Amino acid sequence: MTVPVDVRDLLRHPGAARTVAIDEPVEGLVTELVRVPGDQPIHADLLFESVMEGILVSGPITVTLSVDCARCLKSLRSPFQVDVQELFVSGAGDLDDEYPIADDEVDLEPMIRDAVLLNVPFSPLCRPECLGLCERCGGDRNLEECRCEPEIDDRWAGLSRLSFPDGSRATGSAGPLGP
Ligand SMILES: [Zn+2]
Ligand SMILES: [Zn+2]
C-alpha cells in the first residue's frame, strides 16, 4: 500500500512550502508487543519544503497503539507520537538514508513505517510499577492472584545445610550466629 503525495508544485520551486495532512490507515505496523490496529488511521501534519536536494518533510505522526504489557501481557491502547524530519530526493535507492521521489510523487508509507516501528517502545509497560506475572504459577501479581512463597535464592541454599559445632543448624530464622 502507498500514501502518495504529488509534489510537482514544489519540485522546481526551491523555497516553496506547504502543509500536507495525512489521515488514513497504514497496514502491517506490528512489532512483537506493539501494533497499530488496522482500523486506526495514522494522523500526520507534515510540512513539505522544497530545498536544494529535494523535498524536506517534517512534523508529527500520531497513532493509537495497541500494546501488550511486557510484564503482565495486559492489552491496552495508548496514543503515540513521533516527530519526523526526512529528506526525499530523486533517484534515492533502498540503501540510501533519503526516501525517493519518483514521477513527481513521494510515497510517505515507508517513512511512516520506519518512524513508527523504530520508535515505539521495545518493552512497553501498562504502568511503570507493573508487578508482572509470577514465573511459577503465572498469576498476575497486580491482582494478587499469586500466593507463592518467596523462593530461596540458590546461592544461599547451601547455608541451610551448614552445621555448627554445637549441633545447631543455620536456618533462615535462626537466632544470632555470634560467638
Ligand atoms: Zn503490566
Ligand atoms: Zn506465583
- State residue 151's pLDDT score: 65
- State residue 3's pLDDT score: 94
Distance 74 CA to ligand 1 centre (A): 6
Q: How many CA atoms lie within 13 A of 123 on its CB side?
A: 4
Distance 29 CA to ligand 1 centre (A): 22
Distance 65 CA to ligand 1 centre (A): 15
pTM: 0.76
State the Cα angle at 94 between 90 and 97, rounded to 5°. 70
Distance 67 CA to ligand 2 centre (A): 24
Element (H, E) at 118: helix 109-119
pLDDT in tens, 26-77: 888 998 889 998 888 999 999 999 999 999 999 999 999 999 999 999 999 9
Question: Please, which pLDDT band fits residue 131 given cuts at 50, 70 and 90?
Answer: very high
Q: The C-alpha cell of 100 is what?
A: 525517493
